[in-house]
Amino acid sequence: MSPGNNEIFVYDGTTFEEVGRVNVAVPVSLAIDNNMGLVYAPATRSTYVSVINGSAEIAQIVVGAAGNDPVEIALNSTTRRAYVSLRGNNSIAVIDTVTNTIITTIPLGLILIRLRLKCM
């Protein structure tokens, strides 16, 4: 990632050679769904999350983040949910990754620095 240049670099997993770049506004974290071949990138200092088709190397879908300044993202491929920290309003947006829509927002009342998901 290159937040300063608003880019995500795409590499060949076998040769480790750069094969492309995708423009995404200020990416600082990623979540990868290997089963679906999708990459989720919160566009920090904005109001959306980009969903990138890993094979096409394009930001194909933009999901509104129901708040502002999405920063961290955690993905549960089994339940098909993404959890996005919204620094601008101290909450977490829960995204249904099948429909790419926000299903709820969880208010925190505190500043969230990091977001990690532990699957049991």
Structural domain contains residue 7? yes
Structural domain contains residue 113? no
Structural domain contains residue 117? no
pTM of the full structure: 0.81
Count how many domains the chain has: 1
Structural domain contains residue 88? yes
Structural domain contains residue 80? yes
CATH number of the CATH domain containing 9:
2.130.10.10
Which residue range is the domain that position 101 belongs to?
3-107
Instruction: Flag whether pLDDT at 33 surpasses 80.
Output: yes
Q: For the residues 29-57, what does the mean pLDDT come to?
A: 84
Structure tokens of 116?
């990690």
Residues 6+ apart with CB under 8 A from 111: 87, 90
Q: Which residue has the higher pLDDT, 2 or 95?
A: 95
Structural domain contains residue 26? yes
Provide the 10 A C-beta neighbour count for residue 35: 9
Q: pLDDT digits over 73-110, tens only?
A: 999 999 999 999 888 888 899 999 999 889 999 998 77
- pLDDT value for 108: 86
Rounded to the nearest integer, the mean pLDDT of the chain is 82
Q: How far is CA 53 from CA 34, 61, 67, 75, in A?
A: 11, 9, 24, 16
